[in-house]
Structure 1
Amino acid sequence: MSTSGARRPTSAGLGERLSGALNQVVPRSSRVLVLLVIATVAIGLAIWLFPDDAPLVMLLVPLVVSSLMLGPRQLPWFVVFVLLVLAIVVPTQTVITIRVALTVVIIFGLGFLFLLSSFRRSRLGVAGIQGEMMFVDLRDRILRQGGIPSLPPEWYAAGELRSAGGTPFAGDFIVASRVGERLEVAVVDVSGKGQGAGTRALLLSGAIGGLLSALPPSEFLGAANTFLLQQDWDEGFATAIHLSLDLTTGHYEIRTAGHPPAAVRHAGSGRWEVIESEGPLLGLIDGASYPAAVGVMRHGDALLLYTDGMVETRTRDIGSGIDKMLGQAERLLRGQFEGGAKRLIESIGSRNDDRALLLVHRR
């Protein structure tokens, strides 16, 4: 009798069945906990049976791994379990020396620190590595929002971000969107520094990105101001500059909210000009208005938008800083605008403050 029609279980199918059976017996979220418990018991038995060869410090291995892999609900109980195993195996030591006593004290001290960290993690509800992955994902989303959309061949635009201390999280960010034949860009500087400014920037960048592409240019900063007023933050203000550029005619509108002014380079004269526009900070005054400064970018012109970290330091005011930045721009960007934003942001600005820079050039 032919058996060619009979199906034989493949290794892949068998693996899927075993994985499904394992998930029914032990949920995937608890699998790491089970493995750590087995490893701890094995280490405890080794110390019990071979007290002279198996050191107590081996119990640090599951303790450290648990702090990275377990969630806030599982971690406290596992730490207590490891310390209980330690208390059981300590009397098996042939001689309680000072080294053994110090090892016990250190393990108990680390266990106490891990317990405190688990209580702090309970506010977030995820394990250490998972929490880091969440923040990395949020950071990547900010960087993607700052990416410049595809533009017609005659246009070039690039943005650069640098944070104080060199970390990827910063209080400055760029959000760009293309709506039809218009390029909408906002360069924002959130108040404060460090972790506080970074977390507020994470939230604000999402709101700014949605408002930027959903509202007419004249209403954008007003809506962003209303959003910040509703947050009721202790440091609930930000500065921003908004560029709305017509990619067909080169006509632009620039509105600022307590932000350093933009600068335009006229190809005809070869000189940089500061574009004066005024508006109150975001998040301070309800119903604030933001008048526009208008102009036209012709072929060869360039436009710079930036945050105060590019032009202001403890020993230099914004006015002098703008003059210095434009002098550097004239030297570094002459005849070669591609890659100019990176060259400029690396050559000037305060290393103790977040910096953001946007360069737009019409070829």
Structure 2
Amino acid sequence: MAAGRQRRAEAETFTARWKKQWHRARVGMRRSAVDYFRGDGSDWIALAGLLLTIPVIAATTMMNSVWCAPAALVLPIVAGGLLLRPASLLGLYAAAATALIVESVQLGPYTEGPSRVTPGVVLVVAACGFFGLLVAQFRSRVGVPWRRGGTMLFDLRERIRVQSKLPGLPQGWHREMALRPAGGQSFSGDFVVAARTNGGRTLEVVLTDVSGKGMDAGSRALLLSGAFGGLLGSLPPHAFLPAANGYLLRQDWDEGFATSIHLVLDLDSGDYELYSAGHPPGLQLSAGTGRWEEKSAEGPLLGVYDGAQFDPVKGSLRPGDVLMLFTDGLVETSDRDIAEGIDRLTGEADRYVAGGFHGAAWHLIEAVAKDVNDDRALLLICREGPTAQAAAARSDSARTDTARTDAARTTATGTSTTAR
């Protein structure tokens, strides 16, 4: 009896130890895999997997070189260029070269038959290895693994979009922003930062156009949008552009200039001040006359010289008035000057006067500068009159009624199904 209990205890102890070791190995493997795909761990898992594929490919080639050609060794080489670090990649290349030599010996000279290791196969494999090494060295120099590179770019794009989000406005006001980067890219040199200050009674909006376009200006736009967002609301309105100008000068970039326009709008009275740093003028639509008026403030480009002075232009938005701010890519091209572009923009905008400017920003960019190879941004600030407010109320009521009808239909359908 005692001997049997001892054997069972030893068996249970062995089983428990084995399970514990297996659990540790599994957790360690999973942790290593997670760290690897996050770009924080070693690449030994990928290296081991690719090293195992090389003898498999070589054996398959030697058994049937018609279906598995010797050039199939480029597959682990290409994958290694994307997955491995340069030091590990050299080990993979050594294994692939060894496999290629073994295939050449086993299959015989290429002059004696088809599907053998030819000089062309060797050149193709070597060329793939060379470009794979270049890719690995580039990733190593940048310091961003390929597995995280796409995620990082996506995160940067989302941060720019979040920082460009306009705050909500009280009833009677409407705002919308449309941005289209050059060439259909995801990054733009145009950005907007906005905040409600003075207890929410004032709206401050800064629309900026960084020198360059698309991906070339995207990194600088991200840096400046963060800096401008920190300055906005922390300084008096008249001190914002001088502080932004000093910030650009301290960066000492080769292309360190930018244009910017700063709107300070009192949401109670509709009075505003518009500061400009070499930016195209704003346009105000007067509901009383139905005409557009340019609002041009004085000020040099940001990042050109220290001690620049920025003088504002003042105005007021009455019910039914619209203020439009934009970047030069919307109105200026190589074969069209800014005056002609502004005329075209106001002509297209007149089509929305009767029905309201809800959803008009994107359509205006499409109509005025659809195929322009430059970043384009358009900001609309509308003080809605009684007619527009009534139309908006009717639209909201219609959407509410539609939602209620859909909910009632869904409930009725569910009740009918239950009864059946």
**TM score, norm. by length of structure 2:** 0.77
Q: What's the counterpart of residue 356 of structure 1?
A: 377
Tell me the residue number matched to 2:139: 121
Choose which of 247, 250, 258 in structure 2 pairs with 1:227: 247
Structure 1 residues 290 and 35: alpha-carbon distance in aligned structure 2, compared to 1, 3 A threshold: same
- Quote how far apart the aligned CAs of 1:317 are: 0.9
> Could you tell me how far apart the structure 2 residues matched to 1:362 and 1:243 are?
15
2:76 maps to: 62
Please report how far the alpha carbon of residue 81 of structure 1 lies from its aligned counterpart in structure 2 after TM superposition: 1.8
Partners of 1:232 and 1:61 in 2: how far apart? 45
SS at match of 1:288: coil
Read off the aligned partner of 2:194 and give its amino acid letter.
Answer: A
**Relative to 1, partners in 2 of residues 1:24 and 1:360: Cα closer, same or farther, differing over 3 Å?**
closer
Matched, 1:174 2:185: no
Task: Pick 1 or 2: higher relative contact order, CA cutoff 8 A, min separation 6.
Answer: 1
Structure number with larger C-alpha Rg: 2
Matches within 5 A, 1:8-27: 20-22=27-29
Q: Identify the residue that residue 4 of structure 1 maps to in structure 2.
A: none
Segments of 5+ residues of structure 1 without an aligned counterpart are: 1-8
More helix by share: 2
Q: Which of 40, 53, 61 matches 1:43?
A: 53
Structure 1 distance, partners of 2:59, 2:136, is: 32
- Is this contact kept in 2: 1:277–1:293, CA < 8 A? yes
Question: Equivalences for 1:143-154 in 2 at 5 Å?
Answer: 143-154=161-172
Indicate the SS of the match to 2:372.
Answer: coil
- Partner Cα distance (1:105, 1:201) in 2: 44
- Residues 1:252 and 1:127: Cα distance change in structure 2 (over 3 Å): same
- The alignment partner of 1:113 has SS state of helix
Question: How far apart in 2 are the matches of 1:25 and 1:33?
Answer: 9
Question: What's the offset of the Cα at 1:229?
Answer: 0.5
Say whether the 8 Å CA contact 1:40–1:59 is kept in structure 2.
no
1:184 corresponding residue in structure 2:
204
* Identity rate, percent: 44
C-alpha separation in 2, matches of 1:174 and 1:230: 21
Q: 1:101 aligns with which of 108, 113, 119?
A: 119
Counterpart position of 1:283:
303
Structure 2 counterpart SS, 1:214: coil
Unaligned runs of 5+ in 2: 1-15, 111-115, 385-420
Matching residue's letter, 1:22: M
1:114-163: per-residue Cα shift (whole Å, max 9, x none)?
Answer: 22222222332111231222122111111111111111121111111111
Pairwise mapping of residues 276-355 of structure 1 onto structure 2 (< 5 A)?
A: 276-349=296-369, 351-355=372-376
Change (3 A) 1:334 1:309: farther
CA distance in 2 between partners of 1:16 and 1:231 (Å) = 53
CA distance, structure 2, for counterparts of residue 357 and residue 307 of structure 1: 7
Distance (Å, rounded) in 2 between the aligned partners of 1:25 and 1:86: 25
- Of 270-279 and 18-27, more deviation after overlay is shown by 18-27
Q: What residue number does 1:141 align with?
A: 159
Matching residue within 14, 29, 35 for 1:28: 35
Tell me how large the CA RMSD over aligned residues is: 2.6
Q: For each residue in 1:264-306, what CA deviation from the matched residue of structure 2 results, as whole angstroms up to 9, or x when unmatched?
A: 1111111111112110000012011111111111111111000
Is the 2:53–2:76 contact (alpha carbons within 8 Å) kept by the matching residues of 1? no
Conservation of the 8 A alpha-carbon contact between 1:40 and 1:82? yes
TM-score, normalising length from structure 1?
A: 0.88
2:86 is aligned with 1:76:
yes
Q: Is the 8 A contact 1:67 1:128 kept in 2?
A: no
- 1:42 alignment partner, SS class: helix
Answer whether contact 1:83 1:108 (CA < 8 A) is retained. no
> Does 1:159 find its partner at 2:172?
no
**Helix, strand or coil: the match of 1:255?**
strand
1:201 pairs with 2:221: yes
The 1-side partners of 2:157 and 2:81 are apart by 23
Q: Is this contact kept in 1: 2:283–2:324, CA < 8 A?
A: yes
1:174-199, CA deviations, whole angstroms, 9 ceiling, x for partnerless residues? 22222222111111111123433222
SS in 1 for 2:141: coil
Structure 1 distance, partners of 2:330, 2:244, is 23
Contact 1:263 1:305 in 2 (8 A): yes
The number of residues matched between the two structures is 348
Q: Give, in whole Å, the separation in 1 of the partners of 2:42 and 2:78.
A: 13
